[in-house]
Amino acid sequence: MTELEPLLKRIEQLTPYFGRAREDLTALTTRARHQDYKGVLQNARLVVEMLLRSLASTELKQTPGKAMLDELINKFRQQAHAGVIPTNILAHMGTVQAWGNLSSHDHAGGLHEAGVKVGLEEAATSLNSLVAILTWYKERHTQEPEGPAPTASPEPAAPTAQPPKEGPSGNRRIALVGGALLVVLVVGLGVFSLRASEQAAQLRKQLDALSAESSEPPAPATCQEQDGSALAALVAVAPKLSDRVPETLRLQEATAALEALRARGQSWRPEGAFYVAKASFLAGHPDAAAMSAALECKDFAAAENLAGRMAALAQDWKESAAHYQRAAELEARFWKPRFNLGLIYLQQQRPEEAVPLLERAAELAPNIAELSLFLGHAYASRAAALQASGRNEEASADRERAKASWCRARTQGSSQATLFCK
């Protein structure tokens, strides 16, 4: 319990602020201290559903009706409602949702197969996300606490009286009822298994959407995580590794993501290993073993690009360029490796090779100021080379292209470009 206790104490501090969700929050902490981890995940899911129903009423002015948690999360992910809930909080809600759904059923196909196991690690993952959600909600929707949280009612004692013995007809009745219950149970297990599959599919959609936000293609299907808990963990940390994280917070967020990923141990497929490698790189401690594990997936463009960045950090320009080239070949619309390879060629005074790469990257991501800035530098470098070889008209045209790129970068927000756009 030592790992959960700080989380439980924080939840108890927040509980008085959460109206009708207080009973579930109180039940959650009680269950956690009795090591009822399935119950913890189910109560956490109910709390998040209550918060979203409240936000649908107050923020969207909509009646949530019978909408379930997955429907409510999808509603707030829609473009029309963007910004009501931050992306990272929605990701935390997805984690609580995933574990809450998975822990509600055993998901096995037969009575003698092992059901889903819920332990301390899964509870800690869900409660970490729940604390982030509750803290955000309280800060945004400040209200006075409503007094001490209710205490859980003691469970009723089990009856001790022995039931009367059944005669032959009673035994037959019990057998018939038992058979009917077995049919219901078998059918139910099939439904639960389907729900687990649907939940994994929903988490996959969320993770792919988060990858797209960072302009990175997803892992090939053969290399992707399949387990619901692994997908939930990746959905939770992906926003911390996004390009949208402010520069001042990237180290802090990446470090937190790395700690969360490593807490799950080494049981990752190449997709999970990629996230570990990316978090380690952004945290300033590149994990070569995780990078190698991600590259075991031969057609993983995002992993090849990350490997190029790690090689560049070590100033191994030949290996770096090879990884970038491979990433660009794998994904025609992946601008990052083209930009990175263009920078290597620009640094090596090879503007003829840098320009087309940077032009293509700028076509694929036309609103990124840094691309326009360095494309301007590439044009200027090529213009100098053309001028030196006596090709004055071509050099003049490239100088005009350089100025246009720099001025475009300035309008896109680059302060450096102001020095060149004159």
Residue that finishes a domain, picked among 92, 116, 144:
144
- Over 90: is that where the pLDDT of 169 sits? no
**Tell me, what's the pLDDT at 171?**
53
Dihedral sign, CA of 373, 377, 383, 384? positive
**Tell me, what's the pLDDT at 367?**
92
Provide the b/e sequence for 21-34 (b: ≥16 CB within 10 Å): bbbbbbbbbbbbee
Q: How far is the CA of 337 from the CAs of 118, 352, 358, 365, in angstroms? A: 40, 17, 10, 12
Considering the domain boundaries, does residue 270 fall inside one?
A: no
141 against 362, higher pLDDT? 362
344 against 3, higher pLDDT? 344
Considering the domain boundaries, does residue 208 fall inside one?
A: no
Considering the domain boundaries, does residue 227 fall inside one?
A: no
**Tell me, what's the pLDDT at 115?**
56
The band of 355, judged by pLDDT with boundaries at 50, 70 and 90, is: very high
103 against 345, higher pLDDT? 345
Q: What is the overall mean pLDDT for the chain? A: 83
Dihedral sign, CA of 416, 417, 420, 422? negative
**Tell me, what's the pLDDT at 139?**
83
Interval 364-404: pLDDT, tens: 999 999 999 999 999 999 999 999 999 999 999 999 999 99
Considering the domain boundaries, does residue 236 fall inside one?
A: no
**Tell me, what's the pLDDT at 26?**
93
**Tell me, what's the pLDDT at 110?**
55
**Tell me, what's the pLDDT at 69?**
80
Average pLDDT of 9-17? 91
**Tell me, what's the pLDDT at 58?**
87
The band of 278, judged by pLDDT with boundaries at 50, 70 and 90, is: very high
d(CA 148, CA 159): 33
175 against 148, higher pLDDT? 148
Considering the domain boundaries, does residue 40 fall inside one?
A: yes
Average pLDDT of 123-135? 87
Q: Would you tell me the crossing angle of helices 22-33 and 37-58 to the nearest 10 degrees?
A: 160
Domain total in the chain: 2
- CA-nearest of 394, 420, 389 to 407 is 420
Interval 46-75: pLDDT, tens: 999 999 988 888 888 888 877 778 788 878
Would you call 277 exposed, middle or buried from its count of C-beta atoms within 10 A (0-12, 13-18, 19+)? Answer: buried
**Tell me, what's the pLDDT at 159?**
42
Domain assignment of residue 79, given as a range: 1-144
Average pLDDT of 174-192? 47
- Over 50: is that where the pLDDT of 114 sits? yes
**Tell me, what's the pLDDT at 148?**
56
Considering the domain boundaries, does residue 247 fall inside one?
A: no
- Over 50: is that where the pLDDT of 294 sits? yes
Considering the domain boundaries, does residue 112 fall inside one?
A: yes
d(CA 277, CA 396): 44
Q: How far is the CA of 16 from the CAs of 56, 129, 142, in angstroms? A: 21, 19, 12
Considering the domain boundaries, does residue 292 fall inside one?
A: no
- CA-nearest of 314, 311, 315 to 337 is 311
Residue that finishes a domain, picked among 75, 109, 144:
144
In the block, tokens 């007809």 appear at 169
Q: Residue 253 is which amino acid?
A: E
Would you call 270 exposed, middle or buried from its count of C-beta atoms within 10 A (0-12, 13-18, 19+)? Answer: buried
Interval 204-223: pLDDT, tens: 898 999 998 889 999 999 99
**Tell me, what's the pLDDT at 155?**
44
Residue that finishes a domain, picked among 144, 168, 193:
144
The band of 311, judged by pLDDT with boundaries at 50, 70 and 90, is: very high
CATH code of 120's domain: 1.20.120
Greatest Cα pair distance in the chain: 110
Q: How far is the CA of 62 from the CAs of 86, 143, 146, in angstroms? A: 19, 22, 26
End-to-end CA distance of the chain: 64
- Over 50: is that where the pLDDT of 162 sits? no
**Tell me, what's the pLDDT at 337?**
97
CATH code of 376's domain: 1.25.40.10
